[in-house]
Structure 1
Amino acid sequence: PADERNDGSGFWDFGTQARDSVSAPQTFTIKNVGSATLSGLAVVLDEDWDDDHFSITQPALTSLLPGESTTFTLAFAPLALGDLFGVVQILNNDENESPFLISASGSGVWTIQQWRQFYFGTSDNSGNAANSFDPNFDGVPNVVAYALGLHPLENSAHLLPVADPGDLEAGWLSL
Structure 2
Amino acid sequence: MIAHGTGKSEIELLINGQRRGVTIRSADTLLRVLREQLGLTGAKAGCENGDCGACTVIVGKLPIKSCMMLAIEAVGSSVTTVEGLQGAPIQQAFIDKFAFQCGFCTPGFIMLCHALTLNRPDADEEVIEEWLQSNICRCTSYQEIRAAVLSVLEGK
TM range (shorter): under 0.3
TM-score, length basis structure 2: 0.23
The structure richer in helix per residue is: 2
The structure richer in strand per residue is: 1
User: Considering only CA atoms, is the larger Rg found in Structure 1 or Structure 2?
Assistant: 1
TM-score, length basis structure 1: 0.21
